Amino acid sequence: MFLGTYRHSVDAKGRVAIPARFREQLPTGTVISKGAEGCLQVYPPQEWAQEQGLRLGSMTPAEERRLARMMFGAARECEFDGQGRIVLSADQRQYAAITNVAWIVGVNNLIEIWNDEQWRRIGEATPEEYTRIQDQVAERRRAHNT
Amino acid sequence: MFLGTYRHSVDAKGRVAIPARFREQLPTGTVISKGAEGCLQVYPPQEWAQEQGLRLGSMTPAEERRLARMMFGAARECEFDGQGRIVLSADQRQYAAITNVAWIVGVNNLIEIWNDEQWRRIGEATPEEYTRIQDQVAERRRAHNT
DNA sequence: CACAAAGTGGGGAAAAGTGGGGACTATGAG
DNA sequence: CTCATAGTCCCCACTTTTCCCCACTTTGTG
């Protein structure tokens, strides 16, 4: 389980430290790829395995072909240096518009990496916003169950 | 079961003592996150387990992605020091507008943490208000069941 | 009143994060 | 083939944060 938000700096070489709390839950075979809303997503092995339902074949619809290409094409295995950092490739930094600072967010089963501005828009919420969205999702689920 | 209201101080390092009565009911795996109306909520493990239905994947709708990011991003596992205190992160203190004082309230299955002013507004009620709200809830339930 | 339990505050060691130097490799040009 | 350039990776040193421990104060209880 990944919890919490951390603000880390990205140096000139594209390196970011992954918070120690997260790192100790990430065995080899961990993968980083593109995610929705312009973030990067880090998948522990068992989560990545679930995404592999997405396959190319003669039966695959066009949209899934497109998703599969983007998702797997952008993916890389995470390699940590002695200080617990990974290197974000130039592509990945461009996709997520990350320059000097990255927000690293634990979202239950995945880890997401955001740039400064986007995270402020998506992740930070006033109490009013938070309450509204919580009620919205609850309402939606209630409607769905009945 | 968590009952009662306690006023504790928050020191410069963001530490708050959790009342001993509560602490002895909180095993490891307890989580603290944002709650509605600008409070923080402490979830014992079995309560938190219910929130984990919310996961990220290529099938997750946009609203749930947003909620998951805010909720898990703001969450931390509770770690008690030798004195029975937990550390509220800077984010959490900002969200709940907590500075030097926190109100810690047992609300049946969860514990809530409020700032001074908000708790006065939410928690203290005149007999008239209390009566009115009780009637409102009763009415809503009656309408919902029929 | 005395003792025990709970809460408060601060100092210091250990861990985590940050930045840069330098060696090795690969690639491409002269 | 040789050299220059860029990119990667490993290592070391510094800074910042976290958390563990100790001591004091307050509260509650017999």
Predicted confidence (pLDDT) per residue in A120-135, tens digit: 999 988 999 999 999 9
On whether residue B60 sits in a domain, the answer given is yes
- C-beta atoms of A107 and B64 within 8 A: no
On whether residue A78 sits in a domain, the answer given is yes
- pLDDT band at residue A66 using 50, 70 and 90 as cut-offs: confident
CATH number of the domain encompassing residue B59 = 3.40.1550.20
CB A54 within 8 A of CB A64: yes
Indicate if the pLDDT at residue A58 is higher than 90: no
Estimate in Å the CA A13 to C1' D1 gap, whole number: 32
- C-beta atoms of B73 and A140 within 8 A: no
Q: Which residues on adjacent β-strands are paired with residue A115?
A: none
- Asked whether strand D has any atom less than 7 Å from the CB of A11, the reply is no
On whether residue A20 sits in a domain, the answer given is yes
% of residues, chain A, pLDDT over 90: 73
On whether residue B84 sits in a domain, the answer given is yes
pLDDT given for residue A68 in this prediction: 84
pLDDT given for residue B123 in this prediction: 81
Backbone angles phi, psi at A126, to 5 degrees: -70, 160
Which tens digits make up the pLDDT trace of B33-44? 999 999 999 999
A chain contacts of residue B69, beta-carbon cutoff 8 Å: 105, 107, 112, 122-123
Kind and range of the H or E element at B48? Answer: helix B45-51
Average pLDDT over residues A58-76: 84
Residue B58 has its nearest CB partner, among A4, A54, A133, at A54
Residue B18 CB neighbours (<10 A): 22
In angstroms, the CA A32 to CA A9 distance is: 18
Average pLDDT over residues B103-110: 96
Average pLDDT over residues A95-122: 95
Structurally, how many domains does chain A consist of? Answer: 1
Indicate if the pLDDT at residue B113 is higher than 80: yes
Which tens digits make up the pLDDT trace of B68-102? 999 999 999 999 999 999 999 999 999 999 999 99
Name, in order, each residue with C-beta under 8 angstroms of B103's C-beta and a sequence gap of 6 or more. Answer: B5, B6, B7, B8, B113, B114, B115, B116, B119, B123
3 state DSSP class of A123 = coil
On whether residue A144 sits in a domain, the answer given is no
The mean predicted confidence, pLDDT, of chain B is 94
Query: Helices in chain A by DSSP H: which ranges?
Result: 20-23, 45-51, 62-73, 90-96, 116-122, 127-145
- pLDDT band at residue A72 using 50, 70 and 90 as cut-offs: confident
For an interface test with A, give the residue of B39, B72, B145 to mutate (most A CBs within 10 A). Answer: B72
Report the residue of chain A nearest B37, measured CA to CA: A127
- pLDDT band at residue A143 using 50, 70 and 90 as cut-offs: confident
- pLDDT band at residue A53 using 50, 70 and 90 as cut-offs: confident
- pLDDT band at residue A37 using 50, 70 and 90 as cut-offs: very high
On whether residue B66 sits in a domain, the answer given is yes
On whether residue A127 sits in a domain, the answer given is no
Indicate if the pLDDT at residue A8 is higher than 80: yes
Q: Which nucleotides of D are covered by protein (CB under 7 A)?
A: 8-13, 18-23
- pLDDT band at residue A145 using 50, 70 and 90 as cut-offs: confident
Report the residue of chain B nearest A131, measured CA to CA: B36
CB A88 within 8 A of CB A10: yes
Token pair of B84 as six digits: 């029975």
Q: Domain residues for B55? A: 2-116
Average pLDDT over residues B3-11: 96
Q: Which residues on adjacent β-strands are paired with residue B102?
A: B8
On whether residue A125 sits in a domain, the answer given is no
